[in-house]
Every structure is written in C-alpha cells, then in structure tokens.
Chains A and B, each alone.
Chain A
C-alpha cells in the first residue's frame, strides 16, 4: 500500500521560506505525476503545483507562481515544495498527492504551514 508522508511545515514569518517534503513508502513514485494541494483554515481545497515523473515539467497555480518551486528526487522517492516569499494567505495544511490513472488517488496526511508575525 502506498503511503505518503509530508514534513517540513511550521511557523514562519511573512517573507520567509520553508521546504516541504513528501516521502513515499510501499511503492515507487518514479512513474507518477505528483501534486501539492493545500487547504486554508476552514476553507476548501486549492491546487498548488504538479511535477511529471522525470521532473522536467512543472505547473503552478497563479497565486504561487514565482514564489514556490516543486522538485523531486526519484532515488529518494521524495517530492519537495520550496516555498519562498511566504504570505499570510499561504497559511494552510499542505497535502502531497500521487496521480494514478488520471486521478489523485493517494494522499498524505498533510503538514501545517503557518505564516504569521
């Protein structure tokens, strides 16, 4: 069974940086698109970014473009989200999810990012 475990969340001041990690166990991520989705407090889900299996193609939501960078290390079975120039409105639980058969079928438990002074 595939398990995804996010880490790296925490409290950061506006303008600061964090790097989230998503480690997989039980299966290799090497052949899957990977996505990050976030959920602000009391809010719905918002798609953040995706990366292809080779790490050569990425897409971002307009609200994070130029500030966030998604990457992956298939040898470590891990996907990353580098978040720079963080804003208060980036406060959310961040989930990584693995796309299989064109759907986000596997999700982690999430990691909380709080941006506050």
Chain B
C-alpha cells in the first residue's frame, strides 16, 4: 500500500509564497493525491486533487486561485501564493488505494503551516 510523506511543519511570511510537498512511496507514481486544509479547531476542507499532470477536476468550494497544485514523479505539491493569515492551517494529503474488494484511503502525517 502507498505511504504518503509530508514535512511536519512549514512557515512563510504574509504575502509570500510557500510550496508544500507530499511524497508517494516508490511504485505509486500514477496515484492521484487530494489536498485538504484544516484550520485550527475545524474540520478538513477539500482543496484540490492532483496527479503527475497537474490538477484533476475542480478545486474545492471557496478555494481561491492563490492555491495551485503540481505533480512530478512521486511528488505532489500544493503552492499558496500571496499568503494570508487565514491560510495558517494544517494541510493533509491523501490517496485512495483499492484492488478488488479492498479499498482504503491513506493520509500523510500533515504539514502545519505557520504564517509569520
């Protein structure tokens, strides 16, 4: 099964840009990854889905176009431009894995983004 690896923390200054990474384990380069934002004390919110070619489908409701995604090999990236205070959140990546009657969703450990 795939393993998704995220750095535990990241930081960026107000108005700057930051790129968060999510790395799939070897052999899963064709997997799509979903990004979720979780503000403090709130439930997760879908941001976007990405594969090795870029965004898949539409972004989540209310997600501004300051958010973008990119995929390359085993890595899936979420970039936030012109960072705002409300972007300070935990960001989780996830991937479906299913063969036959087996299905599950694997989450990365999450990255805590601090806005300086």
Q: A46 near B: Cβ within 8 Å?
A: yes
- Report which of A101, A103, A105, A110 forms a contact with B43, defined as CB distance below 8 A: A110
User: In whole Å, how far is A24's beta carbon from the nearest beta carbon of chain B?
Assistant: 14
CB of A35 within 8 A of CB of B105, answer yes
Closest Cβ neighbor of A6 among chain B residues? B43
Question: Is B110 touching A47 in the complex (CB atoms < 8 A)?
Answer: no
Q: A45 near B43 (CB under 8 angstroms)?
A: no
A50 within 8 A of B: yes
Give the interface size class of chain B. Answer: 20 to 34
Q: B86 at interface (Cβ–Cβ under 8 A)?
A: no
Assembly CA distance A103 to B93 (angstroms) = 12
Question: Could you list 26 examples of A-B contacts with CB < 8 Å?
Answer: A35-B105, A37-B105, A44-B92, A44-B107, A44-B108, A45-B36, A45-B38, A45-B44, A45-B107, A47-B94, A47-B104, A59-B102, A59-B104, A61-B104, A95-B43, A95-B44, A101-B57, A102-B57, A103-B49, A104-B44, A105-B46, A105-B61, A106-B46, A107-B43, A107-B44, A107-B46
Q: Top 9 A-B pairs ranked by shortest CB distance?
A: A47-B105, A107-B43, A59-B103, A45-B107, A44-B110, A105-B46, A44-B109, A109-B43, A107-B44
User: Which B positions have Cβ atoms within 8 angstroms of A?
Assistant: 34, 36, 38, 42-46, 49, 57-58, 60-61, 92, 94, 101-110
